[in-house]
Amino acid sequence: MNSLLYWLARLLCKLLFTIGCGLTVYGAENIPRNSPMIVVANHASLLDGFILAACLPHKITYFSSAYLFDLPLVGQFLCIIGAIPVEKNEGGIKAIKKALRVLEAGGVLGIFPEGGVGSEGKVRDFQPGWSYLAIKSGVPVLPIAILGSSTVLPLGARIPRRGKITVIIGKPQNFLRELRPRRETMAAANTCCLKELEYLLSNRSSGNGGCLPNA
C-alpha cells in the first residue's frame, strides 16, 4: 500500500513542479537504473525531498531529522514513503542500521548531508553519517544539485509561490568498500561530494566532474 501511495505522490509532485515551477532536469542520463545507491543533495527548502521524488525513477527512502515528521504535509509524505527518522539523542545508530538494510535490499537512500535547511546556491559542511553509509555499503553515490527551491518555498514560509526549479544530476561517485570505515576515508568522501555539489551549483550543467573517486 505504501508503495502505491509513494508512486501516486511522486506523480502528483511531478505534475505540480512541472506545471507550477517549470521544473527542468539536467543529467538524467547519469542516474543508475538498476543499482542500490545513495542520493546526496543540497538542502535549501523543505520542498527538496518532494523535488527529488519527482525527478528520480526510483522509490527513495529518506534519511530525515525526526522533527520533520511533525510538520504538516512534510510529515505525512515522509510516513508514506517510509522515511527513516534520525533522533539526535540516539546518536543515529538505529537509523544507520535501518539505512544499511535498505541498501542491502537494493534500495535507494536519499540524504541531505548538511543536516538542515541552508542557503540557496551555497553548500554547508557535510555531516559524516552519509559517508559512513556509502563506504560501509560500497554503493554508488549520486550527487544532485537543486536550484530555485528556496524561492518557491523559503524557510519559514507555508505556502509555495511560483518560480523556476532546476535539478542538476552529477555522475555517480564510487568509493572502495570498508567494513570499518576510517575517519580519513570518510573525510575524503565528504570532500569529494561537497566539491562536486559546489561544482554543479556553480556551473548549472550536468555533472562532468567526478572528484577523488577511490574505485
Q: What is the pLDDT of residue 210?
A: 46
What sections of 31-156 are H helices per DSSP? Answer: 48-55, 74-80, 93-104, 129-137, 149-152
What distance in Å separates the CA atoms of residue 191 and residue 125, rounded to the nearest whole number?
A: 9
Angle at 99 between CA 89 and CA 158, to 5 degrees: 70
Dist CA 76 CA 71 (whole Å)? 8
**In what helix (H) or strand (E) does residue 168 lie, and over which residues does it extend?**
strand 166-169
> Looking at the DSSP assignment, which residues form a beta bridge with residue 62?
110
Q: What is the pLDDT of residue 71?
A: 82
Q: In whole angstroms, what is the distance from residue 39 CA to residue 169 CA?
A: 10
pLDDT in tens, the chain (215 residues): 567 888 888 899 999 999 888 999 999 999 998 889 999 999 999 899 999 999 999 999 988 778 778 888 778 777 877 788 877 655 578 888 889 999 999 999 999 998 778 777 678 888 888 999 999 999 999 999 999 999 999 888 888 888 999 999 999 999 999 999 999 999 999 999 999 999 999 876 444 444 433 33
The predicted pLDDT at position 77 comes to: 75
Neighbours of 30 (CB within 10 A): 17
Residue 209: predicted pLDDT: 45
Query: What are the structural domains of the chain?
Result: 2-203 (3.40.1130.10)
Evaluate whether 169 touches 30 at the Cβ level (below 8 Å): yes
How much is the pLDDT for 128? 80
Residue 204 confidence (pLDDT): 63
Tally of CB atoms within 10 A around 129:
19
